A = this chain, B = another copy of it.
C-alpha cells in the first residue's frame, strides 16, 4: 500500500504508467521517452515494480515492462471507500 502510493507520487513514474497504456515496452524504449539518464528510469521502473504497478519479464537481453493490474486495484479499492461518502454525505458536525 505504502510503496504503491509512493510509486504513483512521482510525475515521471506516472508518465511511464500512461506510456505503458499503449502496450508493453522494454526499458530502453521507455527511457527514450524521457530526457533523463537510463539509470534514473531504471530506478523508477524498480519502484513501480515494487508497487505492483508494472510487471517485468526478461526476454533475451531485454526486459519488457507492462502494466500490472494488482497495484491499480489496490489504489482503486482504497478510493472506493470515499465513493460512498460522496454519494451519501454524512451530516456535518453541529453548527
Q: Please list the residues of chain A having a beta carbon within 8 angstroms of any beta carbon in chain B.
A: 2, 5-6, 8-9, 11, 14, 17-18, 21-26, 59, 64, 66-67, 69, 72-73, 75-76, 78-88, 90-95
Contacts and interface: CB of A to CB of B under 8 A. Distances in A.
Task: Please classify the interface of chain A as helix (H, G, I), strand (E, B), loop, or mixed, using the class held by over half of its residues.
Answer: helix
CB-CB nearest 9 A-B residue pairs: A9-B9, A83-B95, A23-B90, A87-B93, A24-B92, A83-B93, A21-B85, A69-B86, A24-B93
A83 B91 contact: yes
Contacts of A24: 92-93
A23 B92 contact: yes
B91 A23 contact: yes
